[in-house]
Chains A and B, each alone.
Chain A
Amino acid sequence: MAVAEEKTSPETSEKSWHGIVLQTLKRNDIRLVPYVPDRVLTTLIRNLHADPFFTTFPTAREEEAVGIVSGAWMGGMRGAVLMQTSGFATLANVLASLAIPYQIPLIMFVSERGTLGEFNYGQSLVCRTMRPVLDSLAMEHHTATRLDEFEFIVDRSIKQAITTQAPVALILSPLLTGGKVFDK
């Protein structure tokens, strides 16, 4: 996580990217947020846990989280899944055999590793598989790079997923989040 993010106070968090995610989820009545964590997502995950509106918890694998929010959707509860790039790379089967054919509005936030300063070669390689997989399934996806358009992208994408009953991946670029840098 970028140093600037660490210093963001709760009072100003609504203007931060993670504050926008939290508020936009809430405004769209998305209560269930299972995740496999990522360093960049730390503040968002902490704030989700602190807000009783949300039911948020870690899962052992990303596809497990996809199964959980799919079941919850069918039971009338909206959800979203948080993960990082390498986690998305484990999802091709569940996207192609559950979310898409059953027309489930799966909402995914993917913290993007592997580009713009990546220090782990494996991460940079797995990142290159993400958009080809999304495109091969003709899935809606957006890469968020700017804070000023982020709320628009998140809010409209959630609403489109639900009304068209189709999954969406929102990729959180290091340009938006600061990414993870080789500092330790």
Chain B
Amino acid sequence: MNNDNPARNTKVMNRFDLTSRLIAKLKNEEAVIGGIGNTNFDLWAAGHRPQNFYMLGSMGLAFPIALGVALAQPDRRVFALEGDGSLLMQLGSLSTIATLAPKNLIMVVMDNGIYQITGAQPTPGAAVADIVAIAVASGLTNSSWAADEDDFERLIEESMSATGPTLIGVRIDEKPGTGTTRRDPVQIRERFMHGMGVREPL
């Protein structure tokens, strides 16, 4: 990623630290969808909650999955954590979300400009693309870069009462995820459905 880009006057932060700050602010059983790889590893490491959903594949679908949850439960806030490489696979979903405009959907893009988990290769957009500008141009007008950790927390607080979908871009470092999600897809899905109040435990 081009950290010298003057258009991005934003601090380089850390994925696990930001994820932990987000989780600490959740008081109303908000849903959190963690994208493939490091994004959901750090969500897992930040402390498991039944309202967390961890993806084990289907790269790029964190925002669409979160959109589905948000449409099904309009009274619950739904957060989605996605990497910049993943989002580049599914940029069209930003327009879908902008059109449907669910106010309870908050998207966080963890942007380090690399495919960290496959060997830190740069993404095709690393040196040239601005994810937040892409989001705005896709119709998500309430999109912004978080300047630092305090600004990230402020944007999360604002999103709790937003009247439309929120997208928050954060520049992050090149560190790998902190934990490793237990890869049991049926249990992940079933516990998430308990967390969403859709099902009772067996």
Chain A contacts to B: CB under 8 angstroms: 32, 34, 55, 57-61, 63-77, 79, 93-94, 96-98, 101-104
A75 CA to B197 CA, complexed, in Å: 8
Q: Is the CB of B93 within 8 A of A59?
A: yes
CA distance A64 to B91 in the complex (A): 10
> Is B33 interfacial (CB 8 A cutoff)?
yes
Known: A94-B58, A96-B57. A104 touches B189 (CB 8 A): yes
Q: Does B109 contact A (CB under 8 A)?
A: no
C-alpha spacing A58/B99, complex, angstroms: 10
Judged by a CB distance under 8 angstroms, whether B56 is at the interface is: yes
Q: Which of B57, B66, B186 meets A98, CB within 8 Å? A: B57
In the assembled complex, B2 has its CB within 8 A of some CB on chain A: no
User: Can you list 17 A-B pairs with a CB-CB distance of less than 8 A?
Assistant: A32-B68, A32-B71, A55-B71, A58-B96, A60-B91, A60-B92, A60-B96, A64-B92, A68-B65, A71-B65, A71-B67, A72-B72, A73-B68, A74-B196, A74-B198, A75-B72, A103-B186
Q: How many residues of B contact A (CB 8 A)?
A: 39
Given known contacts A64-B64, A103-B186, is B192 in contact with A74 (CB within 8 Å)? yes
**In the complex, per-residue mask of B12-30: 1 if CB is within 8 Å of any chain A CB, else 0:** 0000000000000000000
Residues of B contacting A34 in the complex (Cβ-Cβ under 8 angstroms): 96
Contact A101 B67 (CB under 8 A): no
Most chain A CB within 10 A, of B72, B99, B192, is at B72
B178: interface (CB < 8 Å): no
Task: Determine whether the beta carbon of A59 is less than 8 Å from that of B72.
Answer: no
Contact at A76–B68, with CB atoms within 8 Å? no
Task: Kindly provide the distance from the CB of B16 to the nearest chain A CB, expressed in whole angstroms.
Answer: 24
Interface residues of B (CB under 8 A from A): 31, 33, 53, 55-61, 63-73, 76, 90-93, 95-96, 99-100, 185-186, 188-189, 192-193, 196-198
B33's partner among A55, A60, A71 (CB-CB below 8 A) is A71
A72: chain B residues within 8 A (beta carbon): 68-69, 71-72
Q: How many residue pairs bridge A and B at CB < 8 Å? A: 126
Residue numbers in B under 8 Å from A79 (CB-CB): 68
A69-B56 Cα distance, complex, nearest whole Å: 17
Partner of A102, one of B91, B99, B188, B196: B188
Within the complex, the shortest CB–CB distance from B85 to chain A, in Å, comes to 15
In the complex, what's the smallest C-beta–C-beta distance from B32 to chain A, in angstroms? 12
Closest to A77 in B: B72
Contact B56 A67 (CB under 8 A): no
**Is the Cβ of A71 less than 8 Å from the Cβ of B72?**
yes
Contacts of A93 in B (CB 8 A): 57-59
What is the bound-complex CA distance between A77 and B198, given in angstroms? 9
Q: Find out whether the CB atom of B58 lies under 8 angstroms from the CB atom of A63.
A: yes
Interchain CB contact (< 8 A) of A68 among B67, B185, B186, B198: B67
B59: which A residues are within 8 A, CB to CB?
93
Please determine whether A101 and B73 come into contact, CB atoms closer than 8 angstroms: no
Chain B residues with CB under 8 Å of A55's CB are 71
State the CA gap A166–B53 with chains docked (Å).
Answer: 19
Complex alpha-carbon distance, A58 and B97, angstroms: 11
